[in-house]
Structure formats: structure tokens, C-alpha cells
Amino acid sequence: MHRFFVLLACAMSQLASAGTIYKCVEGGRVSYGDRPCPGPGRVLAVPEAPPPDDALQERLERSRASLAQREKARLADAAAEQGQRERAQRAAVTDGRRCSKLRLQRQWAAEDLARQRSDTRESAREAARIKARRLADTAALECPG
């Protein structure tokens, strides 16, 4: 409702600053303008603009301040979300590197196990098997898929 009064006050101030308003009748059509009519018409009395309403002006300023505060909060939220997205992207890159490293270590352990000769001590072969299995388990746990 208060918006109506703001718009009315703006319209009235524009009318007051526009000067004289002419109501013209041409061919049965009514038009309004700021220039005298070529045919029949009359000058309309334009009321003086009302003095500014201090309470209305104060509400308008509070509304502007509230809007500015909300916009500032929205921008801060947007910046925080952008920061979270960037951190998530960096974490994904780091996870990808760690997974690649684990897969490579698992592959090397499997190659080491395959190279163990049959004449190698059983304890060394068992240690290589355990190492390969542990690296495979770690890679499966940290890097599913």
C-alpha cells in the first residue's frame, strides 16, 4: 500500500514540474499533452505537489538500507559458496593424485611379487604377497571404482 503512495507522490511531482497540461478533443478522441490544442480543448488545473512526507521518506531510507544489507549478505553467501566449490575442486585433484599414487604402488608391489624367484626364501615371497595385498586393500578403500 505504501508503494502506491510513493508512486502517486512521484507522479504528482512530475506533473507539477511538467507545467501546464492541456486536454484536447479531436474527432471525438480525448488526449492530454503539454502543448496547446489545435482544436477544442482546455487547460487543466495541476495541483501543487504536496510537501515531502518525512515518515514516508524515513521508511524509504530504511527500506533502502535493508535492501543494501540483504544484497551484501547475498554477495557474501555467493563468495562463500564459490570458495567451497574451489576447495572441493582442489580436494578432488588431491584425491585423484593420491589414488593414482596408490594404484602405481599396488602395481609395483604386484610386479615385485611376480619377479620373486622360486628359489627365493619363502619368508621374502610371503612379505611381498602381504605388501601387495595391503596396497591393494588401501587403494580399494581410499579409491573405490
Measured CA to CA, the distance from residue 91 to residue 141 in angstroms comes to: 17
Confidence at 45, pLDDT banded by 50, 70, 90? confident
Least confident among 30-34, 93-97, 124-128: 124-128
Confidence at 143, pLDDT banded by 50, 70, 90? confident
**pLDDT at 69 exceeding the cut of 90:** yes
pLDDT, tens only, 76-124: 999 999 999 999 999 888 888 888 888 888 888 888 877 776 666 787 8
For 133, left (φ over 0), alpha (ψ -120 to 50), or beta?
A: alpha
